[in-house]
Amino acid sequence: MSINTHPEVHDRLLYALKLIKSRKAPELSDFTDYKIEVSVFSDSIALSTNCDNLWGIIWSCGSLQAEILKVGVLTRGGISKGKTFHEDDILYGEGMINAYRIESKAAIYPRIVLDPKLIPGLNEGLRYYSLRQDSDSLWFINPFSFNAIIDDTDELTADGYDPHELYLKELGDHIDKGKAEAKTVDQVSKWTWLKRIYMDERRDYLKTHETKMDKLFKALSPEKGNRTIS
């Protein structure tokens, strides 16, 4: 899907990247040092942060993936750690090489895979709310946990609609179309994998009408006096 022929892809990607680069995510301010560097080149997006800000990277990647899934664009990637220089679009180092290897060798499907050595250091509650473990034992970011921006949210809510449910329906249509139009075996495999994850997450959402991010932020809200997820 080309940006030139589908301007909605450009708009959605630009919105998501501006959100990340602006470092304005008030719902995260109490439990993450939200400082992310972002570079975009060709069809690749690179994000980096301090090693102690793993949750900030997970949130940024998950939100970005959810936003561009909304227009039917598949993404894959890898998250790792290592000494890396990333400033003013200059990017090199061990961390980037490790992440690239994961993206090219292990991601395979439209998923953002975490280096296994990162998992023990991630809070179990945050792991539950933001990740899934696949059949190959690899952990990946669950894009369906995140709240993509829905157009006309207030109007839809006022009319009795659930905006996120409509988002999921629209996304399901994209997945079905992508699978039907797939020309190669690997394309069919990617869309089929995504459909399986989508169906699981849609079923879970319809039970409570809350995304996992909704539940996380509710658990962390000041009103509840709770700042610990375990």
- When comparing pLDDT for 68 and 151, which is higher? 68
Alpha helix ranges (H) inside the chain: 7-22, 54-69, 94-102, 124-130, 153-158, 163-181, 185-208, 212-219
At 85 the three-state DSSP class reads: strand
Task: State in Å, rounded, how far the first CA of the chain is from the last one.
Answer: 40
* Residue 224 confidence (pLDDT): 47
Which amino acid belongs to residue 175?
Answer: I
At 36 the three-state DSSP class reads: coil
Residue 76: which of 110, 101, 104, 45 has the closest Cα? 110
Give the model confidence (pLDDT) of 103-135 as tens digits.
999 999 999 999 999 999 888 888 988 999 999
Which amino acid belongs to residue 184?
Answer: T
DSSP designation for 184: S
For 76-92, b/e burial (b = at least 16 CB within 10 A) is bbbbbbeebebeeeebe
Rounded percentage of the chain residues whose pLDDT exceeds 90: 37
Give the model confidence (pLDDT) of 166-193 as tens digits.
889 989 998 999 999 999 999 999 999 9
Residue 27: which of 49, 3, 56 has the closest Cα? 56
**pTM score over 0.75:** yes
Strand partners, 132: 140
Q: Are 72 and 169 in contact (CB under 8 A)?
A: no
